[in-house]
């Protein structure tokens, strides 16, 4: 399959989200030694249906090989290319609190191509450590210089909600184009900057819905 570069068609956010999930399912097929899969195989593993999968893939161009299916590794590469994660992204983590350290303590971001290459923290005692797990740690005052020098495009906000708005402005001023906001603060970003809010309660609400309606 050849995933074409997306042109002017607006691709639904849900499709993008599902591409991420398909990629994770394919990873499991790959680990299990499977070379070729059908859309039904992927659907079963991902808990969706084959028609949805084909519809999602159709946004990106051609399908798998007719009568054969999808080559797992090729499809993974194609999805990664479509998502823009066939490369690594330099990220900045702002806030070395509990959540920040939890993020630093997992390799799940790095595995998906998101490398935290700088940490910004307002507590001078932490900043004095100089680095954490070989990732350099800076004061907030260094943000503009470091982000530009490191070519950082994505900022992860893990500070307290009161500070989040100022941090988002500083990140954008420094050249960041994408923001992942872990705080409940409502942040507005100018056109050209992408923001996503992480809200753990949404997943719990999905669980509650199903428990409630059983």
Does an H or E element contain 115, and which? strand 114-121
CB nearer its own copies, residue 123 or residue 141: 123
Stretch that binds its own copies, among 63-71, 144-152, 166-174, 201-209 (CB under 8 A): 201-209
Let me know: does 76 contact 23? Beta carbons within 8 Å. Answer: yes
179 forms part of the interface with its own copies (CB under 8 A): yes
Report the residue from 2, 4, 20, 35 that binds its own copies according to the rule CB under 8 A.
20
133 forms part of the interface with its own copies (CB under 8 A): no
203 forms part of the interface with its own copies (CB under 8 A): yes
Radius of gyration of the chain (CA): 20
Residue from 194, 183, 184, 190 nearest 169 by CA: 190
CA distances from 194 to 107, 145, 187, 207 (A): 24, 21, 11, 28
Let me know: does 116 contact 106? Beta carbons within 8 Å. Answer: no
Query: Shortest approach of its own copies to residue 129 CB, angstroms?
Result: 16
Report the residue from 128, 134, 162, 214 that binds its own copies according to the rule CB under 8 A.
214
49 forms part of the interface with its own copies (CB under 8 A): no
198 forms part of the interface with its own copies (CB under 8 A): yes
Residue from 148, 151, 101 nearest 121 by CA: 101
CA distances from 146 to 90, 91, 102, 153 (A): 12, 11, 23, 12
54 forms part of the interface with its own copies (CB under 8 A): no
Binding site for its own copies (CB under 8 A): 5-6, 13-14, 16-17, 19-21, 24, 28, 82-85, 89, 91, 97-99, 101-103, 105-106, 108-109, 111-114, 153-154, 177-180, 184, 186, 192, 194-196, 198-214
């Amino acid at each position: 399959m050849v995933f074409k570069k997306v042109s002017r068609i607006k691709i639904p956010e849900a499709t993008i989200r599902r591409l991420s999930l398909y990629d994770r399912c394919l990873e499991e097929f790959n680990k299990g030694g499977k070379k070729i899969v059908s859309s039904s195989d992927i659907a079963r593993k991902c808990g969706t249906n084959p028609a949805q999968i084909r519809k999602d893939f159709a946004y990106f161009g051609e399908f798998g090989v007719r009568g054969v299916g999808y080559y797992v590794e090729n499809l993974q590469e194609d999805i990664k290319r479509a998502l823009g994660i066939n490369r690594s992204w330099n990220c900045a983590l702002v806030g070395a609190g509990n959540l920040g350290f939890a993020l630093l303590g997992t390799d799940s971001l790095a595995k998906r191509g998101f490398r935290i290459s700088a940490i910004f923290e307002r507590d001078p005692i932490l900043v004095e450590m100089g680095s954490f797990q070989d990732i350099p740690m800076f004061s907030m005052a260094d943000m503009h210089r470091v982000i530009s020098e490191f070519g950082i495009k994505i900022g992860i906000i893990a500070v307290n909600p009161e500070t989040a708005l100022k941090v988002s402005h500083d990140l954008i001023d420094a050249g960041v184009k994408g923001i992942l906001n872990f705080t409940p603060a409502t942040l507005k970003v100018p056109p050209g900057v992408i923001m996503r809010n992480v809200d753990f309660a949404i997943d719990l609400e999905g669980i509650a819905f199903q428990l409630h309606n059983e």
